[in-house]
Structure 1
Amino acid sequence: MKTVDVFQCELNKKIPLEYVGEVIYIGESFGVDGLTDNKRYLIVKDKNQSLKVVDDSEEDYIYDLKDPKPMSGGSKGGKFYYTDDPEGVLKNYMDKYKN
């Protein structure tokens, strides 16, 4: 299992999380620490096995992998496209939730 160190503000340190893959976000940028158009992001799995995105804040957060956008509704968001998926986790997730 490959891990990456991800900052946790509540602990004020980096912790290792399981690396799942990498995606590129295509869409409207939002938030100072949110998502930026045409930028690559790591996908990790936390201790509860939730898939999370390491966003511009360099912390891991849950984003809808099929329809990423801010919860405030202040942006229409965009789409993630996987660029690295060594175990097929992202492909399986995306295929399962196709519109």
Structure 2
Amino acid sequence: MKTIDVYQCELGKTIPLEYVGRVRYFGESFGVDGLTDGKDYNLVKDETGYIKVVDDSEEDYIYSLSNPAPATGYSPGGIFKIVDDPREILKKRGLPEL
């Protein structure tokens, strides 16, 4: 199992999380620390099994894999396309390939 270190502000340190894959975001950029159009993002699995996106804040957050957008709804969001999916977890979740 491959892991990557992800910063956790509540702990004040980085911790290793299971690497799931890498995606590219296409859509309206939102938030200073949200998602940026055309940028690649690592996906990790936390200790509870949730797949999270390491966004521009360099922390892991839950975003919809089918329509990533801010929780406030002020942006329509966009889509993720698969860049790297070593165990085909993302493909099984219906994400399109790049």
Partner of 1:46: 46
Offset at residue 94 of structure 1 (A):
1.5
CA distance in 1, matches of 2:73, 2:27: 14
Offset at residue 26 of structure 1 (A):
0.3
Percent of aligned pairs with the same amino acid? 63
Partner of 2:8: 8
Normalised by the size of structure 2, how large is the TM-score?
A: 0.95
Aligned-partner SS, 2:93: helix
5+ unaligned residues in a row in structure 2: which ranges? none
How do 1:1-99 residues align onto structure 2 when only pairs under 5 Å count? 1-94=1-94
| Two-structure CA RMSD over aligned residues (Å) | 0.7
**Residue identity in the other structure for 1:37:** D
CA distance in 1, matches of 2:44, 2:29: 21
Normalised by the size of structure 1, how large is the TM-score?
A: 0.94
1:35-65 superposed Cα distances (whole Å, 9 cap, x missing partner): 0000000000000010000000000000000
CA distance in 1, matches of 2:66, 2:94: 7
CA distance in 2, matches of 1:77, 1:48: 26
5+ unaligned residues in a row in structure 1: which ranges? none
Number of matched pairs: 95
- State the 4+ residue runs in structure 1 displaced beyond 2 angstroms: none
